[in-house]
Structures are given as structure tokens and as C-alpha cells.
Amino acid sequence: MGHKAGFVSIVGKPNAGKSTLMNQLVGERLSIITSKAQTTRHRIMGIINEEDYQIVYSDTPGVIKPKYELHSSMMQFVKSSLEDADVLLVVTDIEEKFDEEDVLKMIRHLEIPVIWLINKVDLKAQEEIQEKIEFWKEKLEGMKVKGIVPVSALHNFNLQAVLESLKEELPEHPPFFSKDEITDKSSRFFASEIIREKIFLNYEQEVPYATEVVIQEFKDEKDIIRVYADILVERQSQKGIIIGKQGQMLKKVGTEARKDMEAFFGKKIFLQQFVKVEPDWRRKKTKLSRLGYTQ
């Protein structure tokens, strides 16, 4: 048996737990996680390397109906990950009210093997889990579904079984990435995502969704990494909310982000943040393109 390698796309609705699943499968905290929907905006690859196989996972934004140009770009990331996938992991939430029509519409035509995951099963009794498995068996008839697996990404339940199923479906192929790589994203990307996660955790309503983080400078020096970040918002009033009274909220975000960056990069971090108003950045293609939301 030769070396196996393949791309595994992870798709699902917002809040299904895709990012937690990806981080558990890769063994690294690559995708930011909050309880708010639409936290993931990009396609993030996480790479698992073993002697006889390489799995390239893609965590993707949750499948939504686009309201802004930003949402359209996010859905393009989902589509591109489906185009080069060898295997598909669909993550559904045990709490979902069987509303996966948009996900099904997106994947129904695919010819690749699908492993259907029912996540967060730690929240329900066995009877309800079995009920949900039977529902999906019926619903997915005619599709290339290799298995319906109840999992708890948070508690690592049944993820070994998922890995074994994936390995069976991987094509024989030399590695796509060098064996020491764990992701396709840069250090700057992860610095911006860590700050963005803290914004999602510390602010309410529309503010986190109207915010983007741009790393203007990332200086990796001998004993310290110096990070200079712009936090973009759409309106002046949002700028005031991000900064907070006497700068307290911005300081809190900075402190929390710095701690996580130090853990992630394994080095002391100096972080400086600036809040800037960029009107309607979510709606304008040229601005989105400049911010990296292009294929």
C-alpha cells in the first residue's frame, strides 16, 4: 500500500461546531471559536501528517444566504473547497430542526464520498440520537454517504472512528504539502484571527460582524514579536463602542489577544491596536478584495 493524501472539506450550517471539529482533528487551535454564528470567514486548511498518509482539512464558513458582498465571498470559499475535495465531512447539530436544505443543495451533485456527522450528541439521550440517525438515513438516500456518525467534537467522542473512515476514502497520492506544515495560513492571518475572536467574545449585536482586523506590521524579532493591528469598523459609533469608556474595552481585547498570541506563537508579544472607520467595507468588492476576500 502506497502513501495516501487528500483534501477533506468540512461544511455545515453556522454553529454546527465545524471549527471545534477541525481543531480536534488537527490537534491545533487553527480556527477561532465563539458561540456567535458566522465567526469563520475564510477557508482555513489544517494539515495532518503521518508516515503513510496526509489529510488536508478545510474548515469553511457556515452555509448562509448572502446578505452582503462579504457573505458572497464567504460562500465562494465554501464552493472552492468542495471543488478540490476528495472526501466531504458534513457537520450537523443534534439541536438542528432538520433544516439543512441549503447544505444539501450545495452538495447533492457531488460525486465524492460523504461522511455525515451529527455533532453535540453529548447533549441528548441515546433515543433522540437514534431518531436523528434514522431521519438522516432516509433524507440522504441516493447520495454517496459512507456513514452517519454521531460525534461530540467538544469531547472528542467518536473522532477516531471519523479519522479511520477518512483514511479508507483517501486516494493514493504523494503529500501535497511538506511534512512539517500544519496550515496554509500565515502568522499574520492567525494574529488577526485571534484579535477578531476577542472582538466576537467581548461585543454584542452587530459590532463584531461589522469589524475586520488588518495586521499592518508583524515583526518577528529575537525575543519578541511586535504586532501592529488596525481594527476596521463601518461607522463612527462602532469605533466608540470598540474603544469603550477611557479605552477600557480596547485594552481588554488587547490583553486577551496578546495572551492567546503568546500561547500560539510561543513568544513574548507586543501588540498595538488602532481603530479605524472604513465605511461599508462589507458591501464593496474592491475593499473586500484588498482585505483578502477573493478566490
| DSSP annotation string for 116-171 | EEEE-GGGS-HHHHHHHHHHHHHHTTTS-EEEEEE-BTTTTBTHHHHHHHHHHHPP
In the structure grid, which three cell numbers stand for residue 204, read together?
Answer: 454584542
Q: What is the chain's alpha carbon radius of gyration, rounded to the nearest angstrom?
A: 20
Contact 234, 280 (CB under 8 A): yes
Angle (nearest 5°) at CA 84 between 83 and 87: 100
| DSSP annotation string for 196-264 | HHHHHHH--TTTGGG-EEEEEEEEE-SSEEEEEEEEEESSHHHHHHHH-GGGHHHHHHHHHHHHHHHHH
d(CA 215, CA 199): 15
In the structure grid, which three cell numbers stand for residue 12, read together?
Answer: 455545515
d(CA 195, CA 189): 10
pTM as predicted: 0.91
pLDDT score recorded for residue 239: 97
- Per-residue pLDDT tens listing for the chain (295 residues): 689 999 999 999 888 889 999 999 998 888 887 778 788 999 999 999 999 999 999 999 999 889 989 999 999 999 999 999 999 999 999 887 656 788 888 888 889 999 999 999 998 999 999 999 999 998 888 888 999 999 999 999 999 999 999 999 999 999 999 988 999 999 999 999 999 999 999 998 899 999 999 999 999 999 999 999 999 999 999 999 999 999 999 999 999 999 999 999 999 999 999 999 999 999 999 999 999 997 5
